[in-house]
Chains A and B, each alone.
Chain A
Amino acid sequence: MISVARLRRAVRRETIGVDVGAALNLVGALVKYLSLAFLFPAAVALGYGESPWPFVAAGAITAAAGFGLELATRGKERVGVREGFLVVALTWACAAGFGCLPYLLAGESQLASPANAFFESMSGFTTTGSSVLTDIESLPRGLLMWRQFTQWLGGMGIIVLALAVLPRLRVGGRQLFESEVPGPEVERLAASIRETARRLWVVYIALTGTLAALLYGFAAAGVDDRMSLYDAVAHAFTTMPTGGFSPEAESLGAFGAATQWTVIVFMLVAGTNFALLYALLARGRARALLRDEELRVYLGLVVVAGFVIVAELLAEGILEGEAAVRHGLFQAVSILTTTGYASVDFNEWTALAAVAIVGLMFLGGSAGSTAGSIKVVRHLLIGKSLRRELDLAVHPEVVAPLRFSGRPVDEKTLRAVIAFVLLYTGLFAAGALALTIDAAIGDRAVSPFEAIAAAATTLGNVGPAFGFAGPFGSFEPFSDFSKAVMIVLMWLGRLEIVPVLVLFTRRYWRA
């Protein structure tokens, strides 16, 4: 780690090895384009007869800041591998920073404090879904839609989107791409990164559109009378990125059984590797899907987790029949895929169910999906590597490459996976500790379990925690310091730790 004073000295001595100017220039360009995103909620606000000014003003400020940054620095044709980390980390921080402007400008008391607004924005872009709102439904429609929209942008990734459409990022995008797409190894869908990014977004948009159409179909056909066009789009926007924000106070609990089953299926799809989905949808390759080891384990975990929770609900008599299966499975899928919707208030379930749910926060969906957390593939590889360690204890000379879906796994990849999981658990522990200590100092009623759940849910980009921060609760009661800790955890979790953490090492900055 490096202190600020040392860094400043390093800069003065001009031994810095990172082209900060070029990186900032690119960040400026990306921020500039981000300002276009504010047009959508502005239109929604106009449509509902609300004031579009918070969005227009936020867009103008963002565009001006982006332009300013671009003008103040000198750009380069190609961003280097090193600058890539800085670009990705800063772009996400900036997205969350500028994304909270509408919350501040709208003059809503719930989001008036900068900590609250920034928390809500970071939770949005990182597709976490934790909220500081205490009375969601009192907010204007446009602002609620912006909240949903930030999750949709963050799900497949702002940089992946930029790679797909911005001509400027034609070269050197690989580093940026790999820093943002979750998973230990990025599967390419096409020869070029640009085309890969495009195809990912096409699949993403197609699935979002399908879900929105289905949900609106329920409303039109009278299957679900609580559903409307607004709700259909809003929930499609936060299901596909495994986000979890809902404009309803009761999340998915506000809707009927058909809607909930549909959302279960789409959460599962959102937690599946998009490379597989592309192979299935664009090329009709169902076999590739079945042969994929991660997918099989992922679905197996869903079944086991669902079974445990459903069994507990039935045994304790909390719910019965179809409702028990539906709500048990809904919660299992929602937490495992790191979506974070709730169909009932699982805060009131048993201790066993609560522990199971916190455990599921550490699984995450498949690599290459929009899910957060550790992800199934990493658990699988670690399990295999531990089994190999036992083998090696008896047969020290044996050479046994790990295999994943039949293909050998590089030892470097394995090392990165182990490092990631250690970093992840370390950060989780540090985060939980910080929250607990802060609560103790501030004399707030946060139990250790609630602190653990809050750290796990924010680092894993899941959403709900327990206690006052439960599925129908709010993160509002946490202190500003605790919120800052959780903002950092969300940021680290979405970018899979390394691109952010390297920025705090001396070797990164040195020539």
Chain B
Amino acid sequence: MIGAGQVGSTVVEALHDEHELTVIDLDGSRLGPLSYRHDISTIEGNGATRSVLLEAGIKEAGLLIACTSRDEPNLIAAMLAKKLNPEVRAVVRATEVEYLEAWHERHLDVDLVVSSEIETAYAVSRTLGVPAARQTDVFAEGQVQIVEFDVEATAVDDAVIGRPLREARIPADSKVASIIRGDSAVVPRGDQSIEPGDRVIVIGSPRAAQEWSAIIAGDRPRLDDVVIYGAGRIGVAVAEHLLRQGIRVRMIESDRDRARLVAEKLPDARVFNATGLDPDFLERERIGQSRAAIFAMRDDAKNHYAATLARIHGVGFTIAIVHEPISVEVFERAGVNVVVNPRQLTAEELVRFAHDPRTQQVAMLEGDRYEVLDVTVRPESRLVNTRFRDLPMTGSLIGAIVREGKAIFPHGEDVLLPGDRVIVFTDARRASEVEQAL
């Protein structure tokens, strides 16, 4: 492991029991406390150099986690590690979204790139992207969304509700994965229908998820106007994600040059050059009328103050992005609705990979009754080259395929190819069976 900062120590905490860990950091003072608390070995030095990597035993290692706060040393360490030991799996933390994109297009030879910005964007979007949803998870870098809805008793869209699924006008690029009625689950065959009071699990594109929420929410107001304080990298990542879902985004940035840069980058967002702490400005721009505000400025204290002010002006839903773990409690006390800690999210993502490198993301639905798996299809899988209509009906469902970085929502005639990433919805008890079959 390279990097013993906030992310690094969270990862160590989660992994030290089942793995033999060697932690490298430039700063010896961070390593000391860590090695007293957990049974790990430590090396003080630059992890992006050959000598240090060799000293840490890279030749015998199974996994390298490079999670310093700087992208380039992380990447160089991973590249060197891959050359020194081709067997090693390398996971890299990168803040720059460019690197993430390069990795998706297979221009970076590492096994996983985790971006705090993107993880944060998902987390924020999970909490407010789809309002009627009980739970939502995003997969494949936000291209695929799994949403669990409560169908309101007042829902009236009779093109979908109360109509057999084969006739229902289901939004394009989406599939019903399961219908939960009372205590039992209904396998969504063509003759079944969605009824008011049901709970449905849907897999689809973010846009389809929005359409579903409109169908199911009945007449509840739609979340369509969000204010983001701070146009730093996290703020921009969140904005991009929300804009992609058709949500109106306003951003407030106090640095003039940065505001201009972001305005150039995001043509659909409205960017203001203001502190966001000026009551006249808040009043003039009717910030209080937005449905949600996200606080993504660099300084926790400033976010805290701005959030309180925004609540005074009438913003109903506030989400704070924190930088210090200690701030979480402060924000919660102040009445902020959701607190997101990017470093925590990043660490969780890294740990998830360490558990099973092939499964990129695991989500649990309905407690632990269902799982959504993100699995890469092996070339020797017996399901390769089978048409979707011919796949065995087992109650598990392939909701989407990620092929060459793009999500496809398959139809009956499509076939599964080796190397496809599939997003599978399955009963938790059958999860390992599904993984093996793929």
Contact = CB atoms under 8 A, between A and B. Distances in A.
B230 to A, nearest CB: 14
Interface in B214-270: 253, 256, 259-260, 263-264, 267, 270
B41 interface: no
10 contacts: A397-B274, A398-B271, A398-B272, A399-B259, A399-B260, A399-B271, A399-B272, A400-B263, A401-B260, A401-B263
B281 interface: yes
A76 interface: no
A400 B285 contact: no
Contact of B272 (A395, A403, A408): A395
B272 A397 contact: yes
A395 B274 CA distance: 11
Nearest to B253: A399
Listed from nearest, the 6 A-B pairs whose CB atoms lie closest are A408-B264, A397-B272, A397-B274, A399-B259, A399-B263, A399-B271
Given A397-B272, A399-B260, A401-B260, 6 more contacts: A395-B272, A395-B284, A397-B273, A398-B270, A400-B270, A403-B267
Nearest to A411: B260
Nearest to B271: A399
Contacts of A408: 263-264
Contacts of B256: 399
Contacts of B259: 399
B25 to A, nearest CB: 39
Contacts of A395: 272, 284-285
A357 to B, nearest CB: 37
Nearest to A394: B284
Interface in A106-147: none
B135 to A, nearest CB: 36
A26 B375 CA distance: 69
Interface string A385-408: 000000000010111110100101
Interface in B281-313: 281, 284-285
Nearest to A395: B285
Nearest to B281: A397
Interface in A346-403: 395, 397-401, 403
B264 A401 contact: yes
B159 to A, nearest CB: 36
A385 to B, nearest CB: 15
Contacts of A397: 272-274, 281, 285
A402 B263 CA distance: 10
Interface in A184-211: none
A293 to B, nearest CB: 13
Nearest to A406: B267
A398 B253 CA distance: 10
Contacts of A401: 260, 263-264
Contact of B273 (A399, A403, A406): A399
A242 B256 CA distance: 44
A267 to B, nearest CB: 34
A408 B265 CA distance: 9
A400 B262 CA distance: 10
Contacts of B253: 399
Contacts of B285: 395, 397
A387 B267 CA distance: 16
A414 to B, nearest CB: 13
A400 B284 CA distance: 17
Nearest to B275: A397
Nearest to B258: A399
A109 to B, nearest CB: 61
Nearest to A396: B284
B276 to A, nearest CB: 10
A403 B269 CA distance: 13
A73 to B, nearest CB: 45
A500 to B, nearest CB: 33
Contacts of A403: 267
A406 B267 CA distance: 9
Contacts of A406: 267
A93 B78 CA distance: 64
A398 B281 CA distance: 11
A397 B284 CA distance: 10
Contacts of B260: 399, 401
A72 to B, nearest CB: 50
A400 to B, nearest CB: 6
Contacts of B273: 397-399
A403 B270 CA distance: 14
Q: Which of A395, A399, A400 has the most CB of B within 10 A?
A: A399
B438 to A, nearest CB: 39
Contacts of B281: 397
B244 to A, nearest CB: 17
B138 to A, nearest CB: 27
A398 B259 CA distance: 9
Contacts of A400: 263, 270-271
A401 B263 CA distance: 7
A400 B266 CA distance: 10
Interface in B171-228: none
Contacts of A398: 270-273
Contacts of B284: 395
Nearest to A391: B270
A400 B274 CA distance: 13
Interface string A404-440: 0010100000000000000000000000000000000
B364 to A, nearest CB: 42
A396 to B, nearest CB: 8
B63 to A, nearest CB: 43
Q: Which of B264, B267, B281 has the most CB of A within 10 A?
A: B264
B229 to A, nearest CB: 13
Nearest to B260: A399
A503 to B, nearest CB: 34
Nearest to B264: A408
B309 to A, nearest CB: 16
Q: Which of A395, A397, A406, A408 has the most CB of B within 10 A?
A: A397
Nearest to B274: A397
B190 to A, nearest CB: 41
Contacts of A399: 253, 256, 259-260, 263, 271-273
Contacts of B264: 401, 408
Contacts of B267: 403, 406
A119 B255 CA distance: 55
A398 B263 CA distance: 9
A432 to B, nearest CB: 40
B381 to A, nearest CB: 39
Interface string B35-72: 00000000000000000000000000000000000000
B131 to A, nearest CB: 27
B433 to A, nearest CB: 48
Contacts of B270: 398, 400
A400 B273 CA distance: 10
A396 B270 CA distance: 12
B295 to A, nearest CB: 18
Nearest to A408: B264
A388 B267 CA distance: 14
A499 B10 CA distance: 63
A408 B253 CA distance: 19
Interface string A470-501: 00000000000000000000000000000000
A406 B264 CA distance: 10
Nearest to B252: A397
A199 B281 CA distance: 52
Contacts of B272: 395, 397-399
Contacts of B263: 399-401, 408
A406 B265 CA distance: 10
B2 to A, nearest CB: 38
Nearest to A407: B264
Nearest to A400: B263
Nearest to B272: A397
Nearest to A403: B267
B239 to A, nearest CB: 14
Nearest to B276: A397
A76 B271 CA distance: 49
